[in-house]
């Protein structure tokens, strides 16, 4: 064996190099920037429900119709458990509608389009399920105004009575008496094309006066066109309709079995109205398992009119679930996240915050499974905000692409990486303060740098006016007068004419100020507060009636009014309310997060309740008396020794420390708080601040989610 010929100097250099390599390896191995490549599978697509009915006491967001269009046109596909077949196309820029073929009130049939549109508008004032349908009958074009998509004839019959009594079609010449239109019909055909089926439907209607529409129909693995004749409420009259249709020249007329799939095609005038341009409406029956799928024929997405006219990537699927129209968007998973991240956080936020949001959103969606029966998630903040292509931006897209396939996991499974807008400086404890359940991967009661929404905002002064009213004025509209009130409080001078006094420290254009006061007016300073934001907020004083109605709408135990006292009786690790008492009785709303809704829709449960009508006084005998809405009147003794009843709604009390407090002679409640949202998991504003401090997305994620790995799709 040859002896090592390295010199001592060379040996030392080699040792230093080796030590350097080992040190670098140790640093890299201990860094948070490790992504494990594991068997976590992120699917290629995700299904997002826009409208879906999961049944009573479950998720329900309903629509009577879905209206689609695409700049490049649409291709339609018929899908059911047996087949998937091309079903025609919609030209570029033109609309197509979808609805359930259920029971409807046929309010009016007229040959005058303008008359039909007039009745339509009256019905639309109190119903979102009104339609105008164009068809041919007795040698003329007629228009039927219908309302509703009811699951039963009984439901439609009740509505018929309502609309008849309302007289919405009074004074208009009608071609028939109001009645119920249903999904029962006979079928003729098949025909070679939709044009042939439509021509046959017109011919049958013109010669017999029957309602006739073309329809799609799968037969032996192919998609055919038939004519459906009649809009009947049950099967008992179908034999007579079959005979009348055959006499009118229809071929191969048959009574279809209940549950056979089809999609009737109606000329709908509802959307375009008096423009006299019918739009095809595909009416899908319940119970047949049929799905109509719309795919973009060219570049660009699909606009869904009933979802704020937003445009979405991917395909749209329309079906019937639980007697309601279901609309589901199937879209590329990563492209779905482009919109989610763009909608959830600011487009100019740091890239590391974008990346943290992308991984959290991907994890949340993946953990949801098929949580909505025929969809993984919904498009609202109940899942994640998903508002389509218009909410995408380059920064959000970069955050998604740079973390493609990365998921937060625990035990080899994606965690439900919930997040909220702003945790108010401290994250919530999910188990105790919000929903209960597993809390092991969510950081509980950790500080969060959430002050961002307050940056650049002016403070507001809480002031007492000469009229006795109390309110808020923005600090730049006031100046120090150099004077003090007799009670020692500072007097501030108003600097402009018509200065608005607000009920809370913010400007709401739709809410009138409680007062306007002129330049030079002196007001008494009661305190200085931050402007209303997602980080810190004060709600306008609420009346006992407002809060009692809101509480009893959601509470499992009704509180007997009037509401005299309301207080936070228990809090959790972060200081969030876990229980409130009304009139001394604990309010049961289920999980603590439901307190937000019970208290008239608060931004969070990190709150303080001020009872302005509750205070303790000492009488002449040094006895304490607690005031909170008792009967009788309150008197004060002036410096001249004379007692005087307090008649106005406002009064001001000085406590033992010399602090002036605005109170009311009757119960009212001012709720202030911190944060926006449930506060569990990642705070989006906190992630922004951490990114601005130089932390990367992996640090941010592991700050808000504990004991997790960041794994990449294998």
- pLDDT tens profile 46-63: 999 999 999 988 999 999
The per-residue DSSP string of 432-452 comes to IIIS-S--TTB--S-B----G
Task: Enter the tokens of residue 138.
Answer: 């007795």
List C-alpha distances in Å: 167 to 108, 126, 143, 162, 329.
Answer: 11, 14, 18, 9, 40
Structure confidence by residue, pLDDT tens digits, 236-273: 999 999 999 999 999 999 999 988 999 999 999 998 76
Among 470, 476, 507, residue whose Cα is nearest residue 664:
470
Answer yes or no: is pLDDT of 176 > 80.
yes
Answer yes or no: is pLDDT of 36 > 70.
no
DSSP class of 118: H
Structure confidence by residue, pLDDT tens digits, 393-422: 999 999 999 999 999 999 999 999 999 999
Q: What is the pLDDT of residue 275?
A: 67
644 within 8 A of 389, measured Cβ to Cβ: no
Band of the pLDDT at 75, cuts 50, 70, 90? very high
3-state SS assignment for residue 583: coil
What is the distance between the alpha carbons of residues 78 and 71, in angstroms, rounded to a whole number?
A: 22
Q: CA angle at residue 404 from 399 to 410, to 5 degrees?
A: 105
Answer yes or no: is pLDDT of 549 > 80.
yes
Chain centroid to CA 42: how far? 25
Band of the pLDDT at 486, cuts 50, 70, 90? confident
Q: What is the pLDDT of residue 582?
A: 96
The per-residue DSSP string of 585-653 comes to EE---SSGGGHHHHTTS-S-S-EEEEETTEEEEE-TTS-EEEEES-SS--EEE-TTS-EEE--SSEEEE
Cis peptide before 9 (omega within 30 of 0): no
What is the distance between the alpha carbons of residues 655 and 526, in angstroms, rounded to a whole number?
A: 13
Identify the residue whose tokens are 């993984």: 376
DSSP class of 525: E
The residues facing 711 across adjacent strands are: 36, 407
User: Residue 629 — left, alpha, or beta (φ > 0 → left; ψ -120 to 50 → alpha)?
Assistant: left
Half-sphere exposure in the Cβ direction for 313 (13 Å, CA): 18
Q: Mean of the pLDDT values across residues 458-480?
A: 95
Q: Mean of the pLDDT values across residues 177-203?
A: 95
Task: Enter the tokens of residue 682.
Answer: 């990642």
What is the distance between the alpha carbons of residues 61 and 322, in angstroms, rounded to a whole number?
A: 12
Write down the mean pLDDT value for the chain: 90
Task: Enter the tokens of residue 453.
Answer: 């929404």
Alpha helices for 147-286 (secondary structure H): 153-166, 194-208, 238-247
Band of the pLDDT at 625, cuts 50, 70, 90? low
Indicate if the alpha-carbon torsion angle 317, 320, 326, 328 is positive or negative: negative
Q: What share of the chain is helix, strand, coil (3-state, %, to 5)?
A: 25, 35, 40
DSSP class of 431: I
Chain centroid to CA 484: how far? 49
């Amino acid at each position: 064996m040859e002896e090592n010929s390295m010199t001592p100097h060379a040996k030392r250099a080699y040792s230093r190099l080796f030590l350097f390599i080992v040190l670098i390896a140790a640093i890299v191995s201990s860094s948070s920037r490790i992504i494990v490549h594991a068997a976590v599978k992120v699917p290629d697509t995700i299904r997002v429900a826009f409208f879906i009915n999961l049944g009573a006491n479950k998720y329900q967001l309903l629509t009577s119709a879905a209206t689609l269009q695409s700049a490049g046109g649409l291709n339609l596909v018929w899908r059911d458990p047996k087949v998937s077949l091309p079903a025609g196309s919609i030209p570029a820029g033109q609309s197509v509608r979808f609805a359930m073929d259920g029971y409807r009130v046929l309010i009016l049939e007229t040959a005058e389009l303008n008359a039909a549109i007039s009745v339509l508008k009256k019905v639309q004032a109190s119903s979102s399920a009104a339609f105008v349908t164009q068809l041919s009958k007795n040698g003329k074009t007629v228009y039927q105004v219908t309302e509703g998509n009811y699951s039963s004839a009984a439901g439609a019959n009740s509505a018929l009575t309502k609309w008849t009594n309302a007289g919405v079609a009074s004074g208009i010449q009608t071609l028939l008496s109001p009645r119920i239109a249903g999904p029962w019909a006979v079928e003729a055909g098949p025909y070679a094309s939709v044009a042939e089926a439509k021509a046959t439907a017109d011919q049958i209607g013109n010669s017999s006066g029957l309602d006739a529409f073309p329809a799609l129909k799968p037969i032996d693995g192919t998609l055919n066109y038939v004519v459906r004749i009649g809009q009947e409420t049950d099967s008992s009259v179908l034999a007579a309709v079959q005979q009348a249709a055959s006499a009118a020249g229809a071929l191969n007329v048959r009574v279809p079995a209940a549950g056979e799939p089809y999609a009737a095609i109606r000329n709908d005038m509802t959307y375009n109205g008096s423009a006299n341009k019918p739009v095809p409406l595909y009416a899908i029956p319940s119970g047949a398992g049929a799905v109509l799928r719309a795919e973009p024929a060219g570049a660009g997405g699909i606009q869904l009119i009933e979802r704020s006219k937003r445009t979405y990537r991917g395909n749209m699927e329309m079906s019937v679930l639980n007697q309601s129209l279901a609309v589901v968007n199937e879209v590329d998973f990563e492209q779905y996240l482009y919109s989610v991240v763009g909608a959830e956080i600011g487009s100019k936020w740091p890239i590391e915050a974008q990346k943290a949001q992308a991984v959290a959103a991907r994890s949340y969606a993946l953990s949801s499974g098929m949580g909505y029966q025929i969809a993984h998630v919904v498009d609202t903040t109940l899942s994640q905000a998903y508002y389509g292509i218009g909410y995408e931006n380059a920064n959000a897209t970069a955050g998604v692409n740079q973390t493609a396939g990365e998921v937060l996991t625990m035990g080899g499974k994606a965690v439900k990486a919930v997040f909220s807008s702003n945790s108010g400086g401290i994250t919530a404890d999910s188990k105790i303060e919000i929903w209960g359940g597993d809390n092991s991967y969510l950081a509980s009661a950790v500080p969060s740098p959430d002050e961002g929404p307050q940056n650049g905002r002016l403070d507001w002064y809480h002031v007492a006016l000469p009229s006795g009213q109390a309110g808020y004025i923005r600090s730049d509209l006031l100046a120090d007068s150099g004077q003090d009130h007799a009670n020692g409080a500072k007097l501030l001078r108003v600097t402009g004419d018509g200065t608005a006094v607000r009920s809370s420290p913010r400007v709401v254009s739709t809410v009138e100020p409680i007062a306007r006061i002129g330049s030079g007016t002196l007001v008494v300073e009661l305190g200085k507060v931050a402007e209303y934001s997602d980080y810190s907020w004060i709600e306008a004083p609420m009346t006992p009636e407002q809060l009692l109605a809101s509480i009893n709408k959601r509470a499992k135990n009704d509180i007997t009014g009037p509401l005299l006292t309301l207080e936070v009786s228990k809090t959790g690790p972060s200081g969030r309310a876990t229980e409130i008492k009304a009139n001394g009785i604990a309010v049961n709303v289920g999980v603590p997060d439901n307190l937000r809704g019970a208290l008239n829709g608060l931004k969070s449960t990190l709150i303080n309740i001020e009872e302005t009508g509750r205070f303790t006084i000492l009488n002449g005998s040094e006895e304490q008396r607690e005031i909170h809405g008792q009967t009788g009147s309150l008197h004060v003794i002036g410096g001249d020794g004379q007692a005087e009843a307090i008649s106005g709604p406002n009064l001001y009390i000085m406590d033992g420390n010399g602090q002036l407090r605005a109170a009311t002679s009757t119960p009212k409640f001012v709720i202030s708080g911190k944060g926006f949202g449930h506060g569990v998991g990642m705070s989006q504003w906190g992630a922004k601040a951490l990114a601005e401090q130089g932390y990367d997305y992996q640090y941010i994620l592991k700050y808000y989610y504990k004991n997790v790995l960041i794994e990449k799709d294998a």
